[in-house]
Amino acid sequence: MSGEHPESSPGEPASPQPMATAALSAEAFAVAPSADPVTALLAREEVVLRRVIQRYVRDAASVDDVFQEVSLKVMRRLDSVRDHAAVRGWLFQLARNAALDHLRREDRRSALSQENLAEHRARGDLGRNPSEQFLSAERIAAVRKALTQLPESQREVIRLRVEEDLDHEQIAKRLGISRQAVEVRLCRGRASLKEQLDHILSGGL
Amino acid sequence: MNDASSRTEPTCAEVEQLLPLVADGALDAEADPVLFAHLAQCAECQEALARHDLITLAIGQGAATSAAPRLAVIHYRLPRMVAWASAAALMLGLGGTAWWMRGAPQTEPLVADREIIHVTVPGDATGNGYYLIRDGDRWQRVDPGRLDGDRPAEASATRRDSAPVGYRY
């Protein structure tokens, strides 16, 4: 077994990989034995993590900020990951959650309204044009449209989950249905929304 | 050596089924490390998950009501004298509230940032009338031939002879 860990980057199509070869050892990372494993891990995974963040966050300065947050979390919490094979999945989760938190904070700070467009442009949030933003006005409108086409039973559970941040148990109590029913409606509703959103955004109406 | 090697790797189709749960926060890397191991190295599944996340964020943002400008379209059929008088008043820049609307029956109080009023004048050869557009406090008269895109004229064509009707878009 070689010390090199075979990998494919997120930019390529998924290929079958041998599982469980990411050992948290300096040799596996091909760095000097004295290197701190956390630093080595971050150095090795930085490109991959930044790509994950960039799916959500478009301007370079914010990507840097979010990556810094992720790095801090890795340093603090890497010990909690017991299964070496789970490290990459764990890192992916960290990066995604940090990116989403960033977007939610940005959202609270300023809604994407006309008055704020100038501000966003100055900060470089908009890239070359507003529709490059992950959460653009066009996409929000598309989601709202897809939402109106859901059956009411699915729409109401999604609203309670997202807008009121209720957990599945609380939604079940509120609506007088079982938790399983809540989960089925959430799953079906979200799947329908995605299907419709894909259709709307690819030019269909 | 460890548990993961004994589990089958999920296919993208299987992962896709579970993404709504991931987006909902019901499934995390601790609960399903195999799923997340796949996500970590699959661009298509990451993209699909990002779209689920877009939905969540967009709905969350939609909860905060934004002040979209509201449009009221009112269709009136005016006696010829009144139509001319009001048009003249406007052209003289006398702007402000449309005085001829006072006392006119309304189906509901109009609260709009913009109004488009379609005025048809009996005896007008074309029968199209004209539009008075209020944007805040500013009034503007527009003749149908100069309107682009969606025209209120389409909506109003069948209502010209009915009583004044107010409705919101």
CA dist B78 and B82 (Å) reads 6
**Rg of chain A taking only CA atoms, in angstroms:** 21
Q: Do A198 and B51 touch (CB under 8 A)?
A: yes
Q: At residue A128, does pLDDT exceed 80?
A: no
Q: At residue A85, does pLDDT exceed 90?
A: no
pLDDT at residue A192, as a whole number? 96
pLDDT at residue B142, as a whole number? 76
CA dist A101 and A78 (Å) reads 20
Q: Do A90 and B29 touch (CB under 8 A)?
A: yes
Q: Mutate which of A17, A115, A193 to test chain B, going by most B C-beta atoms within 10 A? A: A193
- Residues 6 or more apart whose CB falls under 8 angstroms from that of A20 comprise A84, A85, B1, B2, B4, B5
Looking only at the bridges linking them, the beta strands covering B130-135 and B138-142 are antiparallel
Closest-approach residue (CA) in chain A for B45: A14
Task: Say what the ipTM of the complex is.
Answer: 0.76
Q: Do A186 and B33 touch (CB under 8 A)?
A: no
Q: Mutate which of A24, A185, A187, A198 to test chain B, going by most B C-beta atoms within 10 A? A: A187
Distance from CA of A122 to the nearest CA of B (A): 22
CA dist B32 and A188 (Å) reads 20
Comparing CB atoms, the residue among A11, A19, A134 nearest residue B43 is A11
pLDDT at residue B131, as a whole number? 75
Q: Do A10 and B1 touch (CB under 8 A)?
A: no
Looking only at the bridges linking them, the beta strands covering B71-77 and B114-120 are parallel
- Reported as a pLDDT band with limits 50, 70 and 90, residue A201 is confident
More confidently predicted of B25 and A119: B25
pLDDT at residue B86, as a whole number? 56
Q: Mutate which of A7, A17, A160, A194 to test chain B, going by most B C-beta atoms within 10 A? A: A194
Residue A41 main-chain phi, psi, to 5 deg = -60, -45
**What's the pLDDT tens digit per position in B7-53?**
678 999 999 999 999 999 999 999 999 999 999 999 999 999 999 99
Q: What is the pTM of this model?
A: 0.59
A-B C-beta contacts closer than 8 Å = 150
Looking only at the bridges linking them, the beta strands covering B130-135 and B114-120 are antiparallel
**For chain B, how many residues are written?**
169
Average of pLDDT values for B54-62? 89
CA dist B34 and A86 (Å) reads 7
**What's the pLDDT tens digit per position in B80-128?**
555 555 555 555 554 444 444 444 444 444 455 666 777 766 666 666 6
Partners of residue A143 in chain B, C-beta under 8 Å: 54-55, 58-59, 62
Please state, rounded to an integer, the average pLDDT across all residues of chain A. 80
Closest-approach residue (CA) in chain B for A137: B58
**For chain A, how many residues are written?**
205
pLDDT at residue A123, as a whole number? 62
CA dist B164 and B119 (Å) reads 10
- Residues 6 or more apart whose CB falls under 8 angstroms from that of B149 comprise none
For residue A42, CA distances in Å to A28, B162, B163 come to 13, 72, 72
